Homo-oligomer: A and B are copies of this chain.
Amino acid sequence: MPRLSEFDLIARHFAPLAAPGGHGLLDDAATLAVPSGHDLVLTKDMLAAGVHFFADDPPDSLAVKALGVNLSDLAAKGATPLGFLLGLALPPDIDDGWMAAFARGLGDMAAAHGCPLLGGDTIRAAGGLTLSVTASGHVPSGRMVRRIAARPGDLLLVSGTVGDAALGLRLRTEPASAFSLGLPSAEAGFLRDRYLRPQPRTALAPVLLGLARAAMDVSDGLAGDAFKMAGRLGLDIRLADLPLSAAARAALAIDPALIETVATGGDDYEVLAAVAPADAGSYEAAARAAAVPVTRIGVFGPPGGAHRLLAADGSERRFARLSHVHA
């Protein structure tokens, strides 16, 4: 199949996804009207083949991941999506069928989260495929939910379930391990899909805006990210309280040592929130109303306090590392 020109590629695959402010993707810039009394929120995450994904991942899943990780940042900051820019560095083996599947995944994700395409750039890759998304959203002026703003005594809550994506990645990289061989295929499929297709918690954004003191999404690893959020404050995380999917529970039943992967593996894209104890009940109720489960997993301590992972008996667990580092 002949390689598409940049013009044809945009006209065929991307122009149908464009917001009005994208001007049909025929201009050099996009326009965006930010609601009055609101700040624009901007985030940018890049993904590279061989670092953040496998070159042979399904193209629609790459679109879901590239846009999803950026939407996840917006959600954790309490922002409502406005639109995104897409940068693509394409290796020569990308053909029209690949691009059609990629655009389909991108369009579905954009529609599901109300975040249309505004523009971008497509270049020839010097190495492998690289994706660079800039997503924009809005929050009431001065109200972006910050990463480092928890106070001593605040509770730590996390959305959804954790560890699934990291277990899904280990299924791929260690197909001969006991848990890879022992896990039923439905559970294995669930975990693999959680790695491939992160689902950003856009519905949680307004809840965070009203009730969270601080928040961030889990991209590098639950423990490492939560301790980043604590900054100079202490933080105790109770491992026995981590919310687990049925598939993750099945994996842990085969190999209990996988708790380390659950607690420190990346790519969950769930939202960690620091909530004042008096607001925790309201936060849980509002999250439930938004169809997002949330779970209390820890408590922040005083400045200079320790960052600890605690077992059910209250003893401290130490792992070799606290995050899965991509880059």
Contact = CB atoms under 8 A, between A and B. Distances in A.
Interface of A: 6, 21, 23, 26-34, 36, 39-52, 73-74, 76-77, 79, 85-89, 118-130, 132, 134, 136, 139, 141, 144, 146-148, 216-217, 326-327
A289 B52 CA distance: 50
Given A85-B42, A121-B45, A126-B128, A73 B29 contact: yes
A52 B148 contact: no
B122 A327 contact: yes
A124 B48 contact: yes
Contacts of A43: 28-30, 119
Nearest to A90: B327
A146 B23 contact: yes
In order of increasing CB-CB distance, the 9 nearest A-B pairs are: A127-B127, A126-B128, A132-B132, A123-B327, A124-B327, A29-B43, A134-B134, A32-B40, A31-B39
A226 to B, nearest CB: 14
Given A29-B77, A87-B87, 8 more contacts: A29-B43, A30-B42, A31-B40, A31-B41, A32-B39, A46-B123, A51-B123, A124-B327
